[in-house]
Structure formats: structure tokens, C-alpha cells
Amino acid sequence: MQHIRTIRKGNLQECAVQVCRQ
């Protein structure tokens, strides 16, 4: 049974905070 659903895998582990162009 799935107890945890990952909605977004963050990426942390020249960009009126954007996205990193690199």
C-alpha cells in the first residue's frame, strides 16, 4: 500500500523566488 505520494521532486539536492537557466 502506498502511504506517501511524491507530488514534486525538488531540485535542491542568470535565473510585478524563477527558474534556473543553467
Nearest distance from residue 13's CB to another protein, in Å? 4
Q: By the criterion CB under 8 A, which residues form the site for another protein?
A: 1-21
Nearest distance from residue 1's CB to another protein, in Å? 6
Task: Please answer whether residues 14 and 22 qualify as being in contact, where contact means their C-beta atoms are separated by less than 8 angstroms.
Answer: yes
What is the four-CA torsion angle of 15, 19, 21, 22, rounded to 10 degrees? 100
Nearest distance from residue 6's CB to another protein, in Å? 5
